[in-house]
Amino acid sequence: MAKSFNELIKNFAVIRNYVREFYVYGFKQREDFTAKSGRSYDNERRRIESYLREYVEVEQQRNGKALRLFIDPNEVTENPMFAVWQAKSFTKNDIFLHFVLMDIFKEGEAYSVNQVLARIDADYLVYFQDGFMVEALTLRKKLAEYVELAVLRRETRGREIYFSRVASVRLSGRALRAVQFFKEMAPLGVLGHYLLQQEDAMDAVFSYKHYFVMHTLEEQVCLDLLLAMREERWVMLTRFGRERAMRFMPVKVLVSGQSGRRYVVGKSKAGQFFAFHRLDQIERVEMAEVATDFVMEKEHFDEVRKFMWSAGFDRRVVHQLRVTLVIDEIREAYMLDRIRMEGRHGTLVRLTSKRFVFEIATYDLNGMKPFLRTLVGRIESLDSGDPAWERQFYAEIADMYRLYFEEGTTVGDI
């Protein structure tokens, strides 16, 4: 007999990958997911359509239906991706013990395992005639799980271990408003969403311009990486689509101001240069041994970071880039303001009233290309010390020019 469809999920990483594919890349079809069976795709698609129904767009293509998730940040005041976190599956024991334990511990009294078991039998199971029983081992595991989640606390009295309820967090009106804001941005995320669910509904007073809803799906990965950095540990890092985990020492989590993507920077082995990994491409993080040289590597990265243009770099040497620009300082003062504002650690030097030089030392010449393209038409000369990169930059400009203008355009025409 075929197993019936269940809307709840057991493995968050599986549906996280599907949501990521539908939202980041969009218009995916059944045939695009080959790692799992077609039935797995159908189940995950149906769950996503259930959780995020109003954000699902379906397009009929020549070879079948394609689906994508479209969320306009300007139209939402709360991250709809929180719904995915609330779909964890549970067993009959889970749901029964949750409500019974919350009822037993609501007065703040402390009980041992045997006392809790006796109360369950006397006060709850006595009303059921189906022979259902709770085993001591099952109860111990559930109590330990709630201690891990900080729902209960554990204390030793003589030879007995007692459990009691951790007091609920009471937040003032101002604190609740702060939680409402920071659950959407940082650092609260889905934790802030859970906190507000215990309170009365609040009016939506915030809207967001630069709003990256995907971050909430990466929050467990981000938390594990931050814990590893605090404990100065190596981790085993598994990326989607890769079977083997990678040994990695995380030293910093960075957020791109351009794309909103989050990266972890660190080293795969001693002696190598730093590498970056996107958090949305990491499936899971497992703690490993203590990194004895963590402090030294972090200090090294702090020095490297001074010459980074974006959250990443493609070269291991610092290049001195010098760009001579033709800008009228009277009529185009706004251009000078923009370059000073967006030029990061670069400097702008006045040569004459119509000629300026932008200079910067950076590892990331390729990362600077989008910024330099905004200056096309004003670049008089460009010197990076890397002729191959300069030829590529001008060739890309020529390709773009041909795309919009006429055939036969060469690099020299630019």
Residues 19 and 74 in one domain: yes
Answer whether residue 313 is part of any domain.
no
Q: Residue 326: what pLDDT?
A: 96
- Find the CATH number of the domain harbouring 361: 3.30.70
Answer whether residue 101 is part of any domain.
no
Answer whether residue 384 is part of any domain.
yes
Residues 201 and 124 in one domain: no
Residues 244 and 301 in one domain: yes
Sorted by sequence, the CB contacts under 8 Å of residue 50 that are 6+ apart come out as: 7
Low-confidence ranges of the chain (pLDDT < 50): 1
Where b means 16+ CB within 10 Å and e means fewer, 159-196 reads eeebbebeeeeeeeeeeeeebbeebbbeebbbebbebb
Residues 289 and 227 in one domain: yes
Answer whether residue 92 is part of any domain.
no
Residues 187 and 220 in one domain: no
Residues 159 and 184 in one domain: no
Answer whether residue 128 is part of any domain.
yes
Answer whether residue 40 is part of any domain.
yes
Q: Residue 155: what pLDDT?
A: 94
Q: Residue 127: what pLDDT?
A: 86
Residues 221 and 199 in one domain: no
Beta partners for residue 164, in sequence order: 153
Q: How far apart are the first and last CA of the chain?
A: 68
Q: Is the dihedral of CA 203, 205, 209, 210 positive or negative?
A: negative
Residues 268 and 289 in one domain: yes
Q: What is the dihedral of CA 311, 313, 314, 318, to 10 degrees?
A: 160
Q: Residue 159: what pLDDT?
A: 86
Q: Residue 294: what pLDDT?
A: 94
Q: End of a domain among 306, 333, 356?
A: 306
Q: End of a domain among 306, 329, 357?
A: 306
Residues 343 and 389 in one domain: yes
Specify the number of domains making up the chain: 5
Answer whether residue 91 is part of any domain.
no
Q: End of a domain among 183, 211, 239?
A: 211
Q: Residue 1: what pLDDT?
A: 46
Question: Can you give the residue range of the structural domain that contains 51?
Answer: 12-78
Beta partners for residue 238, in sequence order: 284
Answer whether residue 122 is part of any domain.
yes
